[in-house]
Amino acid sequence: MDKPFYCYLVQSKNGEMTLHIKDCLHRNDGIRRIFLGSIYTQFQAMNLAKKHSSDISLCQYCMGEQQS
**What mean pLDDT is reported for the chain?**
73
Q: What band does 43 get if pLDDT is binned at 50, 70 and 90?
A: confident
**C-alpha to C-alpha distance for 6 and 61, rounded to whole angstroms:** 15
Q: What band does 31 get if pLDDT is binned at 50, 70 and 90?
A: low
Q: What band does 61 get if pLDDT is binned at 50, 70 and 90?
A: confident
Domain ranges, ordered by start, for the chain: 6-67
**C-alpha to C-alpha distance for 15 and 65, rounded to whole angstroms:** 25
pTM score of the predicted model = 0.62
**C-alpha to C-alpha distance for 44 and 13, rounded to whole angstroms:** 22
Q: Contact, 48 vs 40, CB < 8 A? A: yes
Helices then strands, counting H and E runs in the chain, come out as 2, 4
